[in-house]
Structure 1
Amino acid sequence: MGPGAGVNVQVSPDKDTGVAVVTLDRPERLNAIDLAMVDELRDVWRELRFDDAVRAVVLTGRGERAFCTGIDRDAVVPQPGSPYMADDPLLRIGPKANDLWKPVVAAVRGMACGGAFYLLGESDFLVADTTATFFDPHTTYGMVSAYEAVLMAQMMPHGETARTALMGTAERMSARRAHEVGLVTELTEPGQALTAATAAAAVIAGYPTEAVQGTVRALWAAKEASLAQGYAQAPHLVALGNLPGERQAGLFRARQREFRLR
């Protein structure tokens, strides 16, 4: 695997450090995830499982405006005609969902919202610069924040997760607040998150591989029981609580652009 691994996801491995930088590369769409990017992310994580030269990964987004803004609203996701089966393509985009147990450090610049939490929730820790903001728009548009909230509940205190999930687009959590509550482990100057995350990943990549990967697996095992319980409820809550698509679209068109940064 080398640079230019896909159209929407770029992979840049450094053989000297053992670190690969995975970059979401749709800056014109604020790195929103379409179905092609879903497939590319899945392929990238699964290919990295077999690349022994890569011992740690940094995940970031191209451009200054956004790390990732979740699912692309123009993406058409076919659904089975049954209330017992729902297809959420974002469940397949994270490293852990693809059985990758190499450490993943997220470098966040700009907005990270909604479906971005599928990626952040499966990263091992986050580094962000002071431009980063975090929010979850689901409730504003008549959607249940289910999987996203479950993942974020593993990464910050309940009250912060609840406020982020419930306040929708009216508020954004600042990088400073994210650092205070432990979602972000290191806060950098603008444009420096990728450098800091890569430096941390290089240190980890220099340690014995088996010990590092075993530690990643142990840490994730501590989360799995609660994630499994939350995920089991999620499809039913989404089916019960989501407004029909046309009503969601109407709320999206009528949305207020103003927000409070806290």
Structure 2
Amino acid sequence: MPDSKSDVDLEFSTLLYEERDGVAWVTLNRPERHNAFDLTMAEEFHRLWTTLRHRDSVRCVVLTGSGDKAFCTGIDRDAQVPQPSSPFMVDDPGVALGPKTADLWKPVIAAVNGMACGGAFYLLGECEFLIAAEHATFFDPHVSYGMVMAYEAVHLAQRMPHGELARLALLGTAERMTARRAYEIGFVSEVVPDNAALLTAAEHAARTIAECQPSAIEGTVRAIWAARELAKGQALGLAPHLVQLGNISAERQAELFAARPKGGGWRAR
């Protein structure tokens, strides 16, 4: 029996997991289904996020997909999802996919390596930022198949302009947003030439984050999401508590300031 939740064995049937230098590398591993998620993957994602809450060796997460064709194409069309008989209750396995839903405030970077559509936005909507390979594309197929794009729209409304979201949602499978266009509207923070460069860029960002004081990083993540989800007054009311909880001592801050690189050490983006 494991001694604590941090000792849980992170082995999965639909995800690949690797941990090094404070960074957890998580890969959706159903390339034969374009990394579409099924009920097993949804359960494994929720188990992963809740376990990482207790795993102090992990300070940042990189999330990507197997292969070079798809990051994730939403729910597997063959997945059978039993529904309650009441119209007032819906079982949606997608709601268990995201890290914030599991109360994980360690930063998650998405490295988008191909198509991302439909239920992929449950995941992307709860990541800190996205880096994309040049060939990555984004679209949503719901309306093309007579379905309402609802949960995905709520996630994306926080991350892209209204008109861009409306176009992506309403044109369905007839149009795909390129990585370059996603960068232009601020949905993607960086575009790189290929998957090799994608992993390099993600590793640079993740290792930089992992080298920082965890409480400062997690408090900052919490503040960013509070600003996004709460009214301004509510978020500002939370800010002093996050500062008090996350700041290291003044003495330690001075040590880090004195040790900072002189005359450079930064990367232009």
In angstroms, what is the RMSD of aligned CA positions?
Answer: 1.4
| Counterpart for residue 46 of structure 2 | 42
Distance 1:2 1:8 in 2: 17
TM-score, with length taken from structure 2: 0.81
Counterpart residue identity of residue 133, structure 1: T
| Counterpart for residue 156 of structure 1 | 160
TM-score, with length taken from structure 1: 0.83
| Counterpart for residue 203 of structure 1 | 208
Distance 2:166 2:216 in 1: 35
Structure 2 counterpart of 1:30, from 28, 34, 37: 34
Q: How does 1:108-147 map to 2 (within 5 A)?
A: 108-147=112-151
Calculate percent identity across the aligned residue pairs. Answer: 60
Deviations 1:126-158 (Å, cap 9, x if unpaired)?
000101000000000011101101101111111
| Counterpart for residue 219 of structure 2 | 214
2:19 match: secondary structure:
strand
2:62 match: secondary structure:
strand
Deviations 1:224-254 (Å, cap 9, x if unpaired)?
349xxxxxxxxxxxxxxxxxxxxxxxxxxxx
1:90 match: secondary structure:
helix
| Counterpart for residue 19 of structure 2 | 13
Contact 1:2 1:13 in 2 (8 A): no
Higher relative contact order (CA 8 A, sep 6+): 1
How far did 1:97 drift? 0.5
Decide which structure has the larger Cα Rg and report it. Answer: 2
Unaligned residue ranges in structure 1 (runs of 5+): 227-262
Counterpart residue identity of residue 5, structure 1: E
Contact 1:2 1:11 in 2 (8 A): no
Contact 1:59 1:105 in 2 (8 A): yes
| Superposition misfits of 4+ residues, deviation over 6 angstroms | 1-4
Contact 2:24 2:58 in 1 (8 A): yes
